[in-house]
A and B are shown apart, each in its own frame.
Chain A
Amino acid sequence: MKLLTHNMLTSHVKGVTKGYPLLIKQATEVKVNEVDFNPQFVTRMIPKLEWSALVHAAEELGQRQDLPDELVPEYENNEEFLKKVHRVLLEVEVIEGCLRCPESGREFPISRGIPNMLLNEDEV
């Protein structure tokens, strides 16, 4: 699970109103792969992100490095910054771990890089 994907996922447990962001717990296996850097793609993704959720997730994985709390102004022209964002969005991957709903505490396992968001019948 990449952090770009994580940034989109929400908990849909019945009755939960604030199922975002999912907390990343017990990340026993995290990989950092090489992914081609596309500055335009990163630039376009940034406004779609919940920035603080991204920073928090990266921090939970010990992969935050020097990612800032707030977006730097005029990031479109800042290749160094875009590369840092690219790294956390696309190159860091949680292989084994789990996602925890911030409201209900329900845990969604991540195994072999795939988060399982399926709910039981009574949770839907």
Chain B
Amino acid sequence: MKLKELESWLQQVDAFEEPKILLEQYPTSPHISACMLYTIQNTFNDIEGKLVADLGCGCGVLSIGAAMLAAGLCVGFDIDNDALDIFRRNAEEFEISNVDLVQCDLASLEAEAYAKKFDTFLWAAITMAKTAVYSLHKTTTREHIQKKANDWGVKMEVIAELRYDLPASYKFHKKKSPLLNLIKGSVERKPFLDEKKHPAVIKLQLFFEKLVSWKIVIPKVVLE
């Protein structure tokens, strides 16, 4: 499926009817969702035939996109009943059979257990008034991503660098991985992540801090 096709499908996905501020509900734009999913699949091959978790899935735009890109199964997790209702409706309308939905509080999930089972984690954490999602890419692919970002008319900002390359054996290493430094680095460098203003995002970050697998793909593209 081409990027434009995916994007036009995602434009038809219903978003939040009445976003709840306390839960920091912002719809991820179809453009960013499509770009992100497309990159994750084409650059890392991390969607097709994989078990994907969409954390804080909301109305499911990322999950549906992942399903359309032939994820083996994409499981959406969210705390909000209303959002999950819309997600379910979306899945029915698009006749998507490779998604599943779970209502839960991510703070109470055992991150390590989930890290071992899922291949890929999607997280569209919106942390600013403008749409922003976080992304982790290997340094070798950064130029490629930059070029793509330019092509898509999207501004990309590198907010932190991995200190060293992760060997493949690092995947389930119990020691703190450079990934955690990346996330923490982003929190330290960007003071807009105020816990009082962004309680939901901070919660998600704490969840990620427990994950040790480097296969976490947190998309980050800053849209002007």
Mark A residues whose CB is within 8 Å of B: 1-2, 4-5, 8-10, 12, 33-36, 38, 40-41, 44-45, 48, 90, 112-119, 124
Contacts and interface: CB of A to CB of B under 8 A. Distances in A.
Contacts of B206: none
Interface in B78-111: 79, 81, 84-85, 88, 97-98, 100-105, 108-110
A41 B108 contact: no
B104 to A, nearest CB: 4
Contacts of B105: 117-119
B103 A114 contact: yes
A116 B49 contact: no
B79 A118 contact: yes
A69 B72 CA distance: 24
Interface of B is mostly: mixed
A1 B88 CA distance: 12
A90 B206 CA distance: 30
Given A48-B116, A119-B105, A1 B100 contact: yes
A2 B100 contact: yes
Nearest to A112: B88
Nearest to A35: B97
27 contacts: A1-B100, A1-B102, A2-B100, A4-B73, A5-B75, A5-B100, A5-B102, A8-B113, A8-B117, A10-B110, A10-B113, A33-B97, A38-B72, A41-B50, A45-B72, A48-B51, A90-B97, A112-B85, A113-B100, A113-B101, A114-B88, A116-B104, A117-B104, A118-B103, A118-B105, A119-B105, A124-B108
B114 interface: yes
Given A34-B97, A90-B98, A124-B108, A117 B72 contact: no
Contacts of B50: 41
B108 A35 contact: no
Interface in B96-145: 97-98, 100-105, 108-110, 113-114, 116-117
Contacts of A114: 84, 88, 101-103
Given A41-B72, A113-B88, A116-B103, A36 B98 contact: yes
A4 B74 CA distance: 11
A28 B113 CA distance: 30
Nearest to A19: B110
Interface string B138-182: 000000000000000000000000000000000000000000000
Nearest to B101: A114
Contacts of B73: 2, 4-5, 41, 90
Contact of A117 (B100, B103, B116): B103
Contacts of A33: 97
B102 A117 contact: yes
B81 to A, nearest CB: 8
Nearest to B102: A115
Nearest to B119: A44
A36 B73 CA distance: 11
A1 B101 CA distance: 7
